[in-house]
Structures are given as structure tokens and as C-alpha cells.
Amino acid sequence: MSLVENTLFGIRDKVEIAIARLREFEPEEGYYLAFSGGKDSQCIYHLAVKAGVKFDAHFNLTTVDPPELIKFIKAQYPDVAIHKPPVTMWKLIPQKLMPPTRRVRYCCEYLKEHGGAGRMVVTGIRWAESARRSKRQVFEQCMKAKHKTFIHPIIDWSTPDVWEYIKSRNLPYCSLYDEGQTRIGCILCPMQSKKARTRDIKRYPTYYRAYLRAFEKMLAERNKRGFETTMWNTAQDVMDWWIHGNADNGCNGNPDQTALFE
């Protein structure tokens, strides 16, 4: 696959197509560009610049973002607005009485998806990321907020397309990719594979301990409310279940899938 394809119907330039999409739907007030600091959001940012459309880029902190990612965004994209969440992950877990799982991803709703109300939101969602995303459309209405719409200008790009765009233009990218990571998201995100989460534990021991403290508060809150907790006696029991146990009924993590806007 390549960004420029020679098809039966002539030359198909994916960059020009993405730019045309952005220009076609440009709202008068400009786009709200959802920026994660990952490779896909870098593409939509630079495409919006090349398209000459009006936009403002936003990054929503989750309080469990990799420090390397935050450092990269601040250094390379100083114009991106960084927003603190209404509640931290450490307070959210005790409130929800359980850790976030692949099936119950309450963290995304509270920590990521609250931006862009009443706006047209540009995202880096792509069909190639997952079976679920392969059913998405270029232009969509938000199911949760009727006054919020989405445009996915690179929805038909492959992962090699994304890297071709970045590397052919010598764009700096987060160093975590060069360490073998295929997606960059929250530390110990349940959407990751067990192997990736085990890697996070070793790399970010401070965050690991913070999760354990949140689990302790969660267990205390469950006891306070009279919730039966037969399988968890300690915070470590919760962690072992969350990472190595049956938290998601044996589902395998998809390293390219995230819960953003799903």
C-alpha cells in the first residue's frame, strides 16, 4: 500500500483526498482537532495545516499518560491546548467500585471524550485499526451528543500509509514508537495486551503503585457500601485479576485499537 496508488480509475492520492475532505466540511468556526500525540493524530494535524482550514487542537490529559508522550507534545506541538480531566483516574476507580476493563471502559468517557461539544471534531480513526472501526464512515454524527459531529479524513489509510506520511516529511514523533510500541495510550490501559501491560508495570513503577493505592480505596468504598467482594481481599488481588486474571473473559488485547470515540 502507498499514499499514491495507480488504480483502474487513475491515480489516487490519499493525501489530496484527505485534504479535500477537510476543506469540504470545514465549519465556519473551525474544527476541533482531537490530538493524542500519536502517529495518527500527527497526520491529521499536519493535513489540516496543509489544507489551510481553521482548527484548534486539543489534548485531554487522563492522568495516566506516558510522561514521554506529554514531553513530546509540549516540545513539538506547543499550540495544542492541554486539558485536565474533571476527575483523575485515582479518584475515578474508587467511585466506579471496579477497575476499568476492555468491556467496561468508563475511563474513556470521563477522561477522554468530554471535549468538542457542539463542534465538528477531526479524529485519526482508521478502518485498518480494528473490525469495529472498519464499519465507520468518513463523516458521522456523535451517538452521545447530537450537536457533536466527527470527520475522519484518514479513515482509509493503512498503518504503512501513516508512517510513510510522517517519515517522508521528516516529522518528529514520540520516542516510544522506536522502542517497539505500536500504539501509545494510557499506562496499563486494559485495551493493551497482557504483555504490553506487564511492560508498563516494569517501566512505570510509580504509576503501578498509584493504581494499587486506588484499588485499596476502591475496596474500602465497596466495603463501606456493603458490596460483596469475595475474590478480592487486597489491592494486589485486584491487580493480579486485572492484569493476569479473568478481567475480560479471556479477550486478547489489540495493540492498534483504542476506545477513543467508540
Does the residue 28 lie in any domain? Answer: yes
Does the residue 56 lie in any domain? Answer: yes
Give the per-residue pLDDT at 250.
39
Give the per-residue pLDDT at 248.
63
Give the per-residue pLDDT at 157.
96
Give the per-residue pLDDT at 106.
94
Does the residue 159 lie in any domain? Answer: yes
Does the residue 244 lie in any domain? Answer: no
- We report the CATH number of the domain holding residue 83 as 3.40.50.620
Mean pLDDT computed over every residue of the chain? 90
Q: Which residues contact 135 (CB under 8 A, 6 or more apart)?
A: none
Give the per-residue pLDDT at 229.
78
250 vs 192, more confident: 192
Domain that holds residue 172: 4-98+105-179
Q: DSSP string covering 68-113, please?
A: HHHHHHHHH-TTSEEE--SS-HHHHHHHHTS---SS--HHHHHHTT
Does the residue 114 lie in any domain? Answer: yes
Residue 36: pLDDT over 80: yes
Does the residue 252 lie in any domain? Answer: no
Give the per-residue pLDDT at 76.
98
**Domain count across the chain:** 1
Q: Which residues contact 111 (CB under 8 A, 6 or more apart)?
A: 60, 61, 62, 63, 85, 87, 89, 92
State pLDDT tens for residues 152-173.
999 999 999 999 999 999 999 9
Confidence of residue 189 (pLDDT cuts 50, 70, 90): very high
Confidence of residue 258 (pLDDT cuts 50, 70, 90): very low
Does the residue 211 lie in any domain? Answer: no
State pLDDT tens for residues 53-87.
999 999 999 999 999 999 999 999 999 999 999 99
Separation of alpha carbons 212 and 235, rounded Å: 5
Give the per-residue pLDDT at 9.
61
Give the per-residue pLDDT at 1.
58
Give the per-residue pLDDT at 245.
79
Give the per-residue pLDDT at 253.
42
State pLDDT tens for residues 209-256.
999 999 999 999 999 999 987 889 999 999 999 998 766 643 444 433
Residue 6: pLDDT over 70: no
Place of cell 467508540: 262
Residue 33 CB-half CA count within 13 A: 25
Does the residue 210 lie in any domain? Answer: no
Residue 25: pLDDT over 50: yes
Give the per-residue pLDDT at 252.
41
- pTM more than 0.85: yes
- Reference 141, options 161, 113, 120; nearest CA is 120
For the chain, give me the number of helices (H) and strands (E)? 9, 8
Name the packing angle between helices 194-203 and 235-244 (round to 10°).
140
State pLDDT tens for residues 92-138.
999 999 999 999 999 998 998 888 999 999 999 999 987 888 888 88
Give the per-residue pLDDT at 260.
32
